[in-house]
Structures are given as C-alpha cells and as structure tokens.
C-alpha cells in the first residue's frame, strides 16, 4: 500500500472537505485525513499512483478556468505524487 500526503498548508490549502467539495477524482483506494488536516491518498502501488496522475491531468485540462482552485489543487496533487520517493524509484527502474 502506498500513501501520499497532501499537506493542508500547501498553496491550495487542500483538506478533505475541499477535496470532496471540488469534486476532484478520488483514487481507487480512497482518501484519509490526518489530525492536522492533511489529505492522504491511498494507492495499491506506484503504477496506480502514476495512473491517477494521468487522470488528474485530464481532469485539470478539462477545466475551463486554469486559475481556479480546482486546477491549482490538481496540480498540487500531481506534484506530490511525482515527487514521492517510491514513485521516483519506480519510474527510474
């Protein structure tokens, strides 16, 4: 199981309530939250996380307003996944 944390103090101030309210696609294995409000994305493995970033890229590009909070939050999520050390290692192998 791979878990990726999206800090609630990031640029979009993303927490679980905003995530759901903005109707951002949810990973297949769901979401969790930490006491401090950070969103935790759950994935079966690194490939599933990478597939999710492709889905989020499509979602964000379909948004009409690229200055919107949804667009910013999607970009923040993609960045967190792509910078994860396990995902980086998987890509390099």
Question: Would you list the domain boundaries of the chain?
Answer: 2-92
pLDDT in tens, 33-60: 888 889 999 999 999 999 999 999 999 9
Residue 35: the pLDDT is 84
Taking phi over 0 as left and psi of -120 to 50 as alpha, with beta for the rest, 81 belongs to: alpha
DSSP three-state, residue 39:
strand
Instruction: Please give the pLDDT value at position 2.
Output: 96
pTM of the model: 0.90
Q: Give the start-end residues of each E strand in 1-93.
A: 2-6, 31-33, 39-43
């Amino acid at each position: 199981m791979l878990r990726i944390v999206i800090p609630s103090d990031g640029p979009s101030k993303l927490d679980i309530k905003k995530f759901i309210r903005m109707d951002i696609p949810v990973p297949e294995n769901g979401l969790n939250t930490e006491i401090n409000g950070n969103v935790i994305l759950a994935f079966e493995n690194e490939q599933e996380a990478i597939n999710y970033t492709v889905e989020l890229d499509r979602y964000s590009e379909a948004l009409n307003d690229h200055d919107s909070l949804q667009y910013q939050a999607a970009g923040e999520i993609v960045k967190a996944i792509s910078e994860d050390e396990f995902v980086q290692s998987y890509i390099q192998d």
